[in-house]
Amino acid sequence: MTTPDKAPASPRVPVTLRVNGSDHHLLVEPRHTLLDTLREDLRLTGTKKVCDMGNCGACTVHQDGHSVYSCLTLAVEANGSEVRTVEGLADAGELDPVQEAFIRADAFQCGFCTPGQLMSLRALLDARPDPTDEEIAKAVTGNLCRCGAYHNIMKAGRLAAEIQAERRATGNGPTAGMEAAE
């Protein structure tokens, strides 16, 4: 939320978002992106702004279960939808399999692309619990990593599927997917 001591430049419209399980009623400018809404209004800075034009994938979040570029989504377009960000991945402190896999496979260096990578892979594993290497690569091919952690991101994708399968088999922890945030 900005703290304007002068009136904002253009009229604002009401938007309701359910983000990581909490409802938010906001007034936003029609041009305001979902990315800026998350980062500026809700202070959820885990989702990153890099290109702000749909080139890099760093701003990837889930909208109603599908991964989207939040920089190419207007907040008003997301009105009424369920949004999940990297802050909503872990369930009561227990890491999502993709998060655990990223740590164990050392799938990041600077970590700035990581939230987007995680959300892309989470969406993949929701749809394809046992993905092929090709499917893993395709899921994150729009997520740029300048440190070049791709080699380990591939490993993390495979490992996340294993961890998820193990947890499901033993009935431990979140079964992953949107239900974990609800």
Residue 36 one-letter amino acid? D
The closest of 115, 114, 91 to 178, measured between CA atoms, is: 91
Q: Mask 94-133, x = binds another protein (CB under 8 A)?
A: -x---x--xxx-x-xxxxxxxx--x---------------
The closest of 44, 47, 83, 54 to 144, measured between CA atoms, is: 54
Phi, psi for 134 (deg, rounded to 5): -65, -40
- Answer yes or no whether residue 162 interacts with another protein by CB under 8 A: no
Q: Which of 6, 23, 25, 92 binds another protein (CB under 8 A)?
A: 6
Measured between alpha carbons, how far is 146 from 143 in angstroms, rounded to an integer?
10
Nearest residue (CB) to another protein, 5 versus 171: 5
Q: Which of 13, 26, 90, 178 binds another protein (CB under 8 A)?
A: 90
Closest separation between CB of residue 122 and another protein, Å?
Answer: 11
The closest of 82, 59, 61 to 71, measured between CA atoms, is: 59
Nearest residue (CB) to another protein, 66 versus 146: 146
Q: Which of 65, 80, 132, 147 binds another protein (CB under 8 A)?
A: 147
112 and 50 in contact (C-beta within 8 Å)? yes
The closest of 8, 49, 21, 73 to 179, measured between CA atoms, is: 21
* Window 41 to 80, contacts with another protein (CB under 8 A): 43-53, 55-56, 58
The residues that touch another protein, with contacts defined as CB under 8 A, are 2-9, 29, 31-32, 36, 40, 43-53, 55-56, 58, 85-87, 89-90, 95, 99, 102-104, 106, 108-115, 118, 137, 140-154
